[in-house]
Structure 1
Amino acid sequence: MLTLTTGAVQVIRTVTADPQLPPDTGIRIESGLNGSDALRLSVAPAPEAGDEVVEAEGAKVYLDPEVAVLLNDKTLDAQVDPQGDVAFTIADGTEPV
């Protein structure tokens, strides 16, 4: 199962903290468009049918079934640069929160 770092948890909670968003709002990771190897990440109000749900300390990540298999033994990290831009990275192995 995908593991979230402390940095990823903090960023996801910040991104989904808007009180106007539904309570189950999380980050969804899905396959790229047109057969691309890239992954798409978006804010989602809830998981879609078949999604694997990864939750840590209130941060929710929804993985489409194909991506869940691909990221099974990976770690999701996130960092914010001085300009406020967020960068998510995926690494091999696991680093528990």
Structure 2
Amino acid sequence: MLTLTENASTIVKTLAAQAPGSDDTGLRISSTNEEHTAFSVGVADAPEPMDLVVESEGARVFLEPGAAVALDDKVLDATLDDRGSVSFAIGLAE
């Protein structure tokens, strides 16, 4: 299952808290090609019916089925630059 670094958990919680919506708000990751090698990321009010929900330190990540399979053995990391822009990176789990 996808795991989150401490930085990713903190940033996902912050993004969810800033978005108008319910307590179910989280980050949704979906694959954008048939090979499941490219992904889109966005804040979502709730998971879609078929999404896998990953929770880490209060952060919620919703994975569409193709992304869930592709990211099963991966780690999500996140950084914040000087201008406040968020960058996500996916790495191999150790």
**Normalization by structure 2: what TM-score?**
0.91
Give the percent of matched residue pairs that are identical in Structure 1 and Structure 2: 46
Cα separation, 1, equivalents of 2:27 and 2:82: 22
Pairs aligned (count) = 94
Taking the TM superposition and a 5 Å limit, the aligned residue runs for 1:1-97 are 1-18=1-18, 20-32=20-32, 37-94=37-94
What is the CA distance between 1:79 and its match in structure 2? 0.3
Cα separation, 1, equivalents of 2:33 and 2:40: 8
Uncovered stretches (5+) of structure 1, i.e. residues with no partner: none
Secondary structure at 1:78's aligned position in 2? strand
Q: Structure 1 72/33 Cα, relative in aligned 2: closer, same or farther at 3 Å?
A: closer
Moved over 3 A (4+): 33-37
Uncovered stretches (5+) of structure 2, i.e. residues with no partner: none
What is the CA distance between 1:18 and its match in structure 2? 3.0
Aligned-pair Cα RMSD in Å:
1.8
Q: Structure 1 19/31 Cα, relative in aligned 2: closer, same or farther at 3 Å?
A: closer
What is the CA distance between 1:33 and its match in structure 2? 5.8
**Normalization by structure 1: what TM-score?**
0.88
